[in-house]
């Protein structure tokens, strides 16, 4: 479970980086904010699971 | 009153008289004029011209002459409508020129048509071989109407042995990357079948802007116009969504539901990228 969550968190961070690097037109700001929230939630959940 | 002014006035009046007369004669085209209408047209024109310039003649006499002349075709038109015999007499009957591929020479001579003229009339109907003709008749209007032999007639739908069903419009089975379940039901298919079809075509449903299936089962696809970057982001989001769903299944209901909601949110983001 821990590995699954960590893997998902890494993927979400990849999405976050993608938006930071490539979203020049700021089209995906809402998505970016939600990604940050999800990453934080998963971080807490990962600690809980551990 | 000077002569030139009188001619102008008579001319204008005669135009009016002839206008009314032609209105009375009806709307037939020149080619459809019967013999009487043809003769009447020439005669009333001549009378009109004579009356306008012949100042020694009474204008009213000219008008009476024209009226009496147009009364003849009007009467003939009326009688033609009432009696077939009169109609045949006035308008004439058609003459058969070709019957079952054989030229009836006697009729050609009777109508004073040469073979060249007959061939010209046939060519105007896109017929180049007399043997292709089943029946050709010269109408009283001078037009040749041709009935081709069965073997030379253009094929129509009814001739085709295969039963042709009425064309139905294609069903839209994917719209904006989403399956249209109602359309799938109407063609007796389900989403699994649709996924399989997309797999065969090497695309996923989310890549498809529009997909339609025709009556004969052919699928037309219109894919999203995406950049490489957009494709990359969608691919990342898809992976995240699948992971959220996978984890949600391993968790207790309450926590699992939260993960599932996140999966739905990610799916929503993927739709925005489209």
Q: Quick check: B232 contacting A, CB < 8 Å?
A: yes
CA A23 – CA B160 distance, rounded (Å): 59
* Closest by Cα among B35, B3, B42, B7 to B21: B42
How many CB pairs below 8 A link A and B? 40
The model carries a pTM of: 0.38
Q: What is the DSSP string of B6-61?
A: HHHHHHHHHHHHHHHHHHHH-S--GGG--HHHHHHHHHHHHHHHHHHH-TTS-HHH
Of A8, A27, A34, the CB nearest to B243: A8
Both B54 and B74 in one domain: the answer is yes
For each of chain B's 274 residues, which pLDDT tens digit applies?
788 888 899 899 989 988 888 787 766 555 566 666 778 788 888 888 888 888 888 888 888 988 888 888 788 888 877 887 787 777 777 888 888 778 888 888 888 888 888 888 988 988 887 778 888 999 887 889 999 887 878 777 776 665 555 556 778 888 777 888 888 998 899 989 998 998 888 887 877 877 888 878 888 887 776 677 777 888 888 889 989 998 888 888 888 888 888 888 888 888 777 6
Residue B160 in any domain: the answer is no
Rg of chain B over all Cα atoms, to the nearest angstrom: 40
Place of tokens 């998505």: A31
Q: B184 and B251 share a domain? A: no
**One domain, residues B213 and B190:** yes
Same domain, residue pair B76 and B45: yes
Q: How far, in Å, CA of A7 to CA of B267, rounded? A: 18
- Spatial neighbors of B33 by CB under 8 A, at least 6 apart, are B41
Which residue out of B242, B243, B255 would a mutagenesis test of the A interface target, given it has the greatest number of A Cβ atoms within 10 Å?
B243
* CATH number of domain containing B204: 3.30.240.20
Answer whether residue B157 is part of any domain.
Answer: no
The Cα–Cα gap between B62 and B8 comes to: 16
- Considering the domain architecture, whether residues B12 and B80 belong to the same structural domain is answered as yes
| Residue B75 in domain | yes
Q: What are the Cα distances from residue B215, in Å, to B155, B165, B185, B187, B223?
A: 23, 10, 14, 9, 21
B161 in a structural domain: no
Same domain? B7 vs B82? yes
pLDDT in tens, A1-50: 888 888 889 999 988 888 888 877 777 888 888 889 999 988 888 887 77
* Amino acid B12: pLDDT: 92
Q: At which of B72, B90, B108 does a domain end? A: B90
Say how far apart CA B232 and CA B236 lie, in whole Å. Answer: 6
Q: Does residue B158 belong to any structural domain of this protein? A: no
How high is the pLDDT of residue B82?
80
Q: Say whether both B144 and B204 belong to one domain.
A: no
Looking at the fold, whether B34 and B18 belong to one and the same domain comes out as: yes
Structural domain range at position B80: 3-90
Q: Do residues B235 and B260 both lie within one domain?
A: yes
Q: Which residues of A touch B236 (CB under 8 A)?
A: 11, 14-15, 18
Is the Cβ–Cβ distance between A32 and B263 less than 8 Å? Answer: no
Spatial distance between the Cα atoms of B68 and B168, rounded to a whole number of angstroms: 62
CA distance, residue B203 to nearest chain A CA (Å):
22
Backbone angles phi, psi at B242, to 5 degrees: -65, -40
Residues B17 and B70 in one domain: yes
Give a yes or no: residue B194 inside a domain: yes
Residues 1-50 of chain A whose Cβ lies under 8 A from any Cβ of chain B:
1, 4-5, 7-8, 11-12, 14-15, 18-19, 22, 27-28, 31, 34, 38, 45
Residues B132 and B189 in one domain: no
Asked whether residue B163 is domain-assigned, the answer is no
Write B164-167 long-range contacts (CB < 8 A, 24+). Answer: B165/B215, B167/B215
* Tally of domains within chain B: 4
Quote the CA–CA distance of B274 and B222 in Å, as a whole number. Answer: 13
Distance from CA of A25 to the nearest CA of B (A): 13
The interface pTM score, or ipTM, of the predicted complex is 0.88
Nearest of B205, B209, B203, B231 to residue B222 by alpha carbon: B209
Domain-terminating residue out of B48, B67, B90: B90
Q: Distance between CA atoms of B262 and B258, rounded to whole angstroms?
A: 6
Q: How far apart are CA B109 and CA B115, in angstroms?
A: 10
Out of B52, B68, B90, a domain closes at: B90
Residues B80 and B17 in one domain: yes
For residue range B123-145, list pLDDT tens digits in order: 898 888 777 888 899 988 788 99
Q: Structure tokens of B24?
A: 């009375």
**Measured between CB atoms, which of B247, B250, B272 is closest to A31?**
B272
Residue ranges of alpha helices (H) inside chain B are: 3-25, 35-53, 59-82, 84-91, 105-110, 115-124, 181-186, 191-200, 228-250, 253-273
Residue B32 belongs to a domain? yes
């Amino acid at each position: 479970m821990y590995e699954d969550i960590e893997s998902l968190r890494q993927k979400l961070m990849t999405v976050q980086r993608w938006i930071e690097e490539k979203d020049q037109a700021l089209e995906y700001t809402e998505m970016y904010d939600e990604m940050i929230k999800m990453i934080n939630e998963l971080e807490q959940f990962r600690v809980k699971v551990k | 009153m000077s002569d030139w002014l009188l001619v102008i006035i008579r001319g204008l009046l005669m135009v009016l008289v002839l206008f009314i007369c032609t209105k009375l004669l009806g709307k037939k085209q020149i080619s459809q004029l019967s013999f009487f209408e043809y003769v009447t047209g020439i005669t009333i024109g001549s009378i009109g011209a004579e009356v306008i310039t012949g100042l020694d003649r009474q204008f009213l006499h000219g008008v009476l002459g024209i009226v009496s002349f147009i009364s003849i075709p009007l009467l003939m038109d009326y009688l033609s409508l009432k009696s077939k015999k009169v109609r045949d007499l006035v308008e004439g009957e058609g003459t058969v020129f070709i019957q079952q591929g054989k030229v009836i020479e006697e009729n050609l001579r009777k109508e004073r048509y040469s073979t060249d003229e007959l061939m010209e009339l046939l060519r105007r109907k896109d017929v180049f071989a007399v043997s292709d003709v089943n029946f050709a008749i010269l109408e009283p209007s001078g037009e040749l109407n041709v009935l081709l032999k069965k073997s030379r007639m253009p094929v129509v739908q009814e001739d085709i042995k295969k039963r042709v069903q009425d064309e139905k419009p294609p069903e839209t089975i994917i719209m904006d990357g989403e399956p249209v379940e109602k359309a799938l039901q109407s063609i007796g298919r389900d989403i699994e079948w649709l996924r399989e079809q997309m797999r065969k075509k090497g695309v996923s449903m989310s890549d498809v802007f529009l997909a339609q299936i025709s009556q004969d089962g052919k699928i037309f696809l219109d894919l999203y116009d995406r950049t490489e970057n957009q494709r990359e982001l969608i691919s990342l989001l898809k992976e995240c969504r699948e992971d959220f769903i996978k984890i949600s299944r391993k968790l207790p209901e309450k926590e699992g539901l939260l993960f599932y909601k996140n999966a739905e949110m990610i799916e929503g983001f993927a739709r925005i990228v489209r």
